Amino acid sequence: MQVKICGIKRMEEVEILNRYPVDYAGFIFAASKRQVTPEQAGVLIARLRPGITPVGVFVDESPQRVNDLVRECGLEVVQLHGRESVEDIRRIKARVWKTIPVDVEDPSSLEILESWEAALPKLPNLEGLLLDARVGGQSGGTGKAFPWSWAAGLEERFPLFLAGGLCPENIREAIRTLHPALVDVNSGVETDLLKDEEKIRRLFEEIDKEEKDR
């Protein structure tokens, strides 16, 4: 299982990530408390250690602008967090992860998965579907988890990536319930909107324990 830490905006945070077995670092280009400019992202990405892959997070950005930022900032993966279409993904020249917003109060929000699952084999750059909690219309960095049991078994049908309210205290249960190929953690390893090294250390300690127990 791979690990993405999202919402990186400061050099101190890059330095923390470089000390842990992080696979992906997420940079948010969409409107957010954690938004970075392309210039900031470029500087931060250049300082990631080899082995940490930069991911750009976008909400309803045009494929042309996404492609420009992929080139300018050195992004390898693009995470689409809005209402992007199959055609948008076809036009993006990078690896893509598509977020599926799961309304924490409405299991029927998972129904949209069917059409994305059908699109997967037709889109060679679409690597997986990221289930993230949606709370009151907001999706992304909510700090809330949806009931994972709603998605049990989906990991057998497609590469399932999991986000939403993950933290050191619940990561083992999340892994045990859904066996995701990747976990995406943001506010659960922050203090005052900055990545907190002690929380990241505990996150990896818990992941290690879970993997050893298997």
Ligand X SMILES: O=C(O)c1ccccc1NCC(=O)[C@H](O)[C@H](O)COP(=O)(O)O
Residues forming the active site: 6, 132
- Contacts (Cβ under 8 Å, ≥6 apart) of 139: 81, 99, 101, 132, 133
Least distance (Å) between residue 201 CB and ligand X: 17
Q: Does 109 bind ligand X (CB under 6 A)?
A: no
Residues in 27-46 at the binding interface with ligand X, rule: CB under 6 A: 28, 30, 32-34
Q: What span, in angstroms and rounded, lies between the C-alpha atoms of 171 and 107?
A: 21
Q: Does 7 bind ligand X (CB under 6 A)?
A: yes
Least distance (Å) between residue 73 CB and ligand X: 16
8 A C-beta contact, residue 129 and residue 119: no
Q: Does 61 bind ligand X (CB under 6 A)?
A: no
In this structure, the number of other CB atoms found within 10 A of the CB of residue 150 comes to 16
Least distance (Å) between residue 175 CB and ligand X: 15
Least distance (Å) between residue 32 CB and ligand X: 3
8-state DSSP, 35: B
Q: Does 168 bind ligand X (CB under 6 A)?
A: no
Q: Cβ closer to ligand X: 122 or 138? A: 138
Only segment of 67-75, 114-122, 141-149, 152-160 that touches ligand X (CB under 6 A): 141-149
Ordered DSSP codes for 93-131? -SEEEEEEEEETT-GGGGGGHHHHHHHGGG-TTEEEEEE
Q: What span, in angstroms and rounded, lies between the C-alpha atoms of 12 and 24?
A: 16
Only segment of 13-21, 90-98, 111-119, 136-144 that touches ligand X (CB under 6 A): 136-144
CA neighbours closer than 13 Å in the CB half-sphere of residue 109: 20
Least distance (Å) between residue 30 CB and ligand X: 5
Q: What span, in angstroms and rounded, lies between the C-alpha atoms of 156 and 41?
A: 35
Q: Does 140 bind ligand X (CB under 6 A)?
A: yes
Coil, helix or strand for 179? coil
Q: Cβ closer to ligand X: 105 or 122? A: 105
Q: Does 171 bind ligand X (CB under 6 A)?
A: no
Query: Footprint of ligand X on this chain (CB under 6 A)?
Result: 6-7, 26, 28, 30, 32-34, 57, 59, 81, 132, 140-143, 163-166, 184-188
